[in-house]
Amino acid sequence: MPFRDRSLDPERKNALHAFQKKLGIRFRDLSLLNRALTHRSLTNEDAASSGNNERLEFLGDAVLGLAAAAYLYRTMDGKPEGDLARVKSFVVSEEALAAIAADLGMDTLILLGKGEERSGGRGKKAILADAMEAVFGAAFLDSGFEKARDLVLRFIAPEVDKVLTDRHRRDYKTLLQEYVQRWHRGYPEYALASKDGPDHDRTYWMTCTLLGVAYGPAAGKTKKDAEQAAAAMAYEAVMAAGGVEAERLVSMKRL
């Protein structure tokens, strides 16, 4: 039996109908879309709620992966598997999916428990990315793979183009790690310098130590974001020096 949420009130239905227009797809079963936008924190707090999006997210992750892989296989004809995997890692990442979800205004539509709401859940990238995948899963159940694939590519294809033309948000932690491993058998080290603000609006400050030189601190709303910002500072500093600074530091450490 398909999932049916008979608790949808007219206001919620109107909001979901408007959201469908942004997606460019019409759901035959609107309750599937509503479920895709229901976080587990709500069902944990409200026993009367009709389910959350965890199973749909699981399904949507597979739909997203297959649609993206097939698109890259066709688009990047002749490129080796490693190149396809690198591009795919960017376009299906939490960062990319959360940005798409935010652009769609999904943060205002997700149903959250009171605790998650107070802790700033609407702005959490993991929640937004999971909901985006759940929408893909809901589209698959509602309309089949072809419609779900078209939905995925409507948002993923532009991200692929950004990566191929180097206009995407770069993963500085990975870039920095690859650079250090190439020139020195070690890893960048990240440390929490400080944190401030209330629990629901906290800011973290992280440093990145590269071959004995500390960069930062850099700020972020999560530790992961702050680490990325610190890694960006380190990477840009090294690249601005043309790699000379890194080579000099390696030589100094070996003396």
Give the active site residues.
61, 133
Question: What does the alpha-carbon distance between residue 5 and residue 171 come to, in Å, rounded to a whole number?
Answer: 40
Burial of 183 (0-12, 13-18, 19+ CB in 10 A): middle
255: Cβ contacts below 8 Å, ≥ 6 apart: none
Asked if residues 41 and 116 have their Cβ atoms less than 8 Å apart, the reply is: yes
Q: Quick one: angle between helices 223-240 and 244-254, nearest 10?
A: 100
Give per-residue burial for 1-27: e unless 16+ CB within 10 Å, then b: eebebeebeeebeebbeebeeebebeb
Q: Which strands sit side by side in the sheet containing 203-210, from one edge to the other?
A: 189-196, 203-210, 213-220
* Residue linked to tokens 């739909």: 63
Residue 18, beta-bridge partner list: none
Task: Return all residues near 7 (Cβ < 8 A) that are at least 6 apart.
Answer: 50
What's the maximum distance between 2 C-alpha atoms anywhere in the chain? 73
- Extract the tokens encoding 212: 């004995």
- Termini Cα distance of the chain: 71
